């Protein structure tokens, strides 16, 4: 307590001096009032935290700094920094971020305690600036509080977009968009292509056709559409901002000051997204277009629920835009970046790549492209995909959850209101769970391998790239099919060369942290077609 008193004394002296001058001018009076409110809020939060913690046996963790707590320990790569702290303090770790209690699960067994045994207690999200300023003030499916409206939105997306029948009905859409991508890549000529850009265009158009009934970005043949570049930049900016540990979320007294400028950037980005989504919604409401699609797309269903439904199932326009925002952000950049990681790993591991191509040639041949019906027969490819999800989970730190009530985990007290972070990245590299955890070794998932029976669908807690429990990613099935088909198609249809004679072992594999795990440097490559010419014309 003594260091805090020493910090506060000069600040309180400044407040007193400001008060003497504040009576004469309105701006100074406002400044004085604001600073006084911050001090009162700070002292109240400090006393409340000290009183609450005095009676709790909290999990171990690093010693927090005054006021900001452990925020300085996070660094530019929080998933890596937190993994390092867990190696010192244990897989169940306590952090104090500002005035917020945070518990971290960094092992499969601890994650199972939270996401399986205590799942219902951790079914809500904590307050955060991203949900407030970008996601229509918690009106979306990702950050909305657990309850009837959340279950209703989840049911709508599950039945009309992510059910087995819906996925099968739209199988041809994913395959057609991958065919468009392969044709564009096959005709790229001598110039290298930005694979990240092309993949994002493909995935957005595939999801757009299913959700909206039409391609969002033209014919999808290349990266020349400025709207596509704008959309990609918006999604990446959203993921970066959502991954920032905003001081205002953890020190409430500082929220209005927006010291990092995060809230300002979020509000600006929200306006851009809202214009994009509002234009789509208004166009559909005016002309009822279905893009020639014989199937009912998700937006048509949502509009019918806005116009015709009664009671709890009646949607608002804001809820529709929030749901579209979720699908276009969580369902596009995650899939395209995972495929990009997959191709990068195959380039770096030519023996694995050769084995993938050998399997594809034996099952598919060289006269056509891969289809989703081929995927169950591609045993080695499936193992490669699991290894990609292990080393490069699209969400390295789970979206935060909040404890509705106090509970005990492994003998430690978890206070009510605590924020839970599951370090998915660290769990998938835990040497207690994985042999040679840093090696790219798909054989671990083959018959006879030590992890043969492990899947990525939230049942095996050592590999949960989509999360687990009742708030597991709603688009798991869509994302899995898109990544499998995309990786198989690109590995089968092309040999990939790095520009400038760069050797595969020198390829930059650094991560860029955000809500999703992007590559620090986009993958730029030369695609060399390897199938018969008619395969690219289908």
Give per-residue pLDDT as tens, 243-289: 788 888 888 877 888 888 899 999 999 999 999 889 888 888 776 64
Give the mean model confidence (pLDDT) for residues 470-491: 95
Of 493, 392, 510, 511, which is closest to residue 440 (Cα–Cα)? 392
Residues with Cβ within 8 Å of residue 380, at least 6 apart in sequence? 355, 356, 359, 442, 446
Q: In 10 A of CB 288, how many CB atoms?
A: 10
Residues with Cβ within 8 Å of residue 310, at least 6 apart in sequence? none
Taking the C-alpha atoms of residue 86 and residue 513, their distance in angstroms, rounded to an integer, is 19
Taking the C-alpha atoms of residue 200 and residue 513, their distance in angstroms, rounded to an integer, is 18
Query: Between these two residues, 387 and 33, which has the higher pLDDT value?
Result: 387
pLDDT, averaged across the chain: 86
- Output the pLDDT for position 44: 52
- pLDDT of residue 210 exceeding 80, the answer is yes
Taking the C-alpha atoms of residue 194 and residue 205, their distance in angstroms, rounded to an integer, is 17
Contact 85, 61 (CB under 8 A): yes
Report CA-CA distances (Å) from 274 to 133, 142, 309, 314, 324: 11, 17, 24, 21, 10
Contact 65, 421 (CB under 8 A): no
Task: Quickly state the pLDDT bin for 230 (edges 50, 70, 90).
Answer: confident
∠467-392-170 over CA atoms, to 5°?
A: 65
Q: In 10 A of CB 205, how many CB atoms?
A: 24
Task: Quickly state the pLDDT bin for 29 (edges 50, 70, 90).
Answer: very low
Report CA-CA distances (Å) from 489 to 202, 442, 483, 494: 13, 18, 10, 8
pTM of the predicted protein model:
0.86
Least confident of 165-169, 410-414, 426-430, 479-483: 165-169
- pLDDT of residue 370 exceeding 80, the answer is yes
Place of tokens 């798909």: 442
Give per-residue pLDDT as tens, 97-129: 999 999 999 999 999 999 999 999 999 999 988
Least confident of 38-47, 151-160, 247-256: 38-47
Tally helices (H) and strands (E) across the chain.
Answer: 19, 11
Query: Between these two residues, 93 and 44, which has the higher pLDDT value?
Result: 93
Give per-residue pLDDT as tens, 296-346: 678 888 888 887 666 666 888 999 999 988 888 888 889 999 999 999 999
- Output the pLDDT for position 199: 94
Lookup: tokens for 497: 């060369």
- pLDDT of residue 352 exceeding 90, the answer is yes
Give per-residue pLDDT as tens, 452-464: 999 999 999 999 9
- Output the pLDDT for position 73: 93
Tell me if residue 49 falls in helix, strand or coil.
helix
Q: In 10 A of CB 292, how many CB atoms?
A: 7
Taking the C-alpha atoms of residue 56 and residue 251, their distance in angstroms, rounded to an integer, is 21
Q: Is 202 annotated as a binding residue?
A: no
Chain-centroid distance of CA 470 in Å reads 17
Measured over the CA atoms of residue 63, residue 67, residue 70 and residue 75, the dihedral's sign is: negative
Give the CATH class of 148-537.
mainly alpha
Contact 483, 342 (CB under 8 A): yes
Chain-centroid distance of CA 70 in Å reads 23
Lookup: tokens for 173: 């859409």
């Amino acid at each position: 307590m003594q260091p805090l008193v020493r910090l506060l004394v000069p600040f309180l002296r400044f407040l007193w001096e400001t008060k003497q001058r504040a009576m004469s001018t309105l701006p100074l009076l406002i400044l004085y009032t604001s600073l006084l409110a911050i001090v009162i809020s700070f002292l109240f939060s400090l006393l409340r935290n000290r009183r609450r913690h005095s009676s709790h046996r909290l999990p171990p963790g690093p010693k927090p700094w005054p006021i900001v707590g452990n925020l300085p320990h996070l660094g530019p790569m929080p998933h890596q920094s937190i993994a390092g702290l867990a190696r010192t303090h244990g897989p169940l770790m306590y952090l104090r971020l500002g005035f917020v209690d945070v518990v971290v699960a960094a092992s499969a067994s601890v994650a199972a305690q939270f996401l399986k045994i205590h799942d219902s207690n951790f079914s809500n999200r904590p307050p955060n600036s991203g949900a407030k300023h970008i996601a229509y003030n918690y009106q979306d499916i990702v950050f909305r509080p657990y309850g009837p409206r959340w279950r209703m939105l989840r049911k709508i997306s599950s039945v009309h977009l992510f059910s087995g029948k819906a996925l099968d009905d739209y199988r041809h859409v994913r395959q057609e968009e991958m065919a468009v991508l392969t044709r564009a890549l096959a005709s790229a000529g001598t110039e290298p292509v930005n694979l990240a850009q092309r993949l994002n265009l493909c995935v957005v158009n595939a999801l757009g056709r299913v959700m909206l009934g039409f391609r969002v970005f033209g014919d999808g043949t290349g990266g020349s559409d400025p709207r596509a570049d704008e959309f990609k930049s918006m999604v990446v900016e959203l993921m970066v901002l959502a991954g920032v540990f905003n001081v205002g979320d953890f020190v409430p007294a500082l929220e209005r000051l927006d010291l990092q400028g995060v809230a300002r950037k979020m509000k600006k980005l929200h306006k851009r997204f809202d214009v994009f989504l509002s234009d789509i919604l208004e166009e559909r409401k005016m002309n009822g277009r279905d893009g020639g699609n014989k199937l009912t797309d998700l937006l048509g269903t949502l509009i019918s629920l806005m116009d015709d439904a009664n009671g709890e199932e009646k949607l608002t326009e804001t809820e529709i835009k929030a749901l579209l925002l979720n699908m276009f952000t969580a369902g596009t950049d995650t899939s395209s970046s995972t495929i990009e990681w997959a191709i990068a790993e195959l380039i770096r591991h030519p023996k694995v790549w050769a084995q993938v191509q050998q399997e594809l040639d034996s099952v598919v041949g060289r006269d056509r492209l891969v289809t989703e019906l081929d995927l169950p027969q591609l045993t080695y490819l499936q193992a490669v995909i699991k290894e990609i999800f292990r080393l490069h989970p699209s969400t390295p730190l789970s979206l935060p959850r909040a404890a509705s009530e106090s509970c005990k985990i492994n003998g430690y007290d978890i206070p009510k209101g605590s924020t839970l972070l599951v370090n998915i990245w660290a769990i998938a590299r835990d040497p207690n769970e994985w042999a040679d955890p840093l090696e790219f070794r798909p054989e671990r998932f083959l018959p006879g391998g030590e992890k043969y029976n492990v899947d990525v669908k939230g049942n095996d807690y050592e590999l949960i790239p989509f999360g687990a429990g009742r708030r597991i990613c709603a688009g798991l099935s869509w994302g899995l099919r898109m990544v499998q088909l995309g990786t198989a198609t690109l590995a089968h249809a092309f040999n990939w060369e790095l520009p400038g004679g760069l050797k595969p072992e020198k390829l930059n594999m650094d991560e860029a942290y955000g809500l999703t795990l992007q590559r620090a440097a986009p993958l730029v490559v030369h695609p060399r077609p390897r199938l018969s010419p008619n395969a690219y014309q289908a």
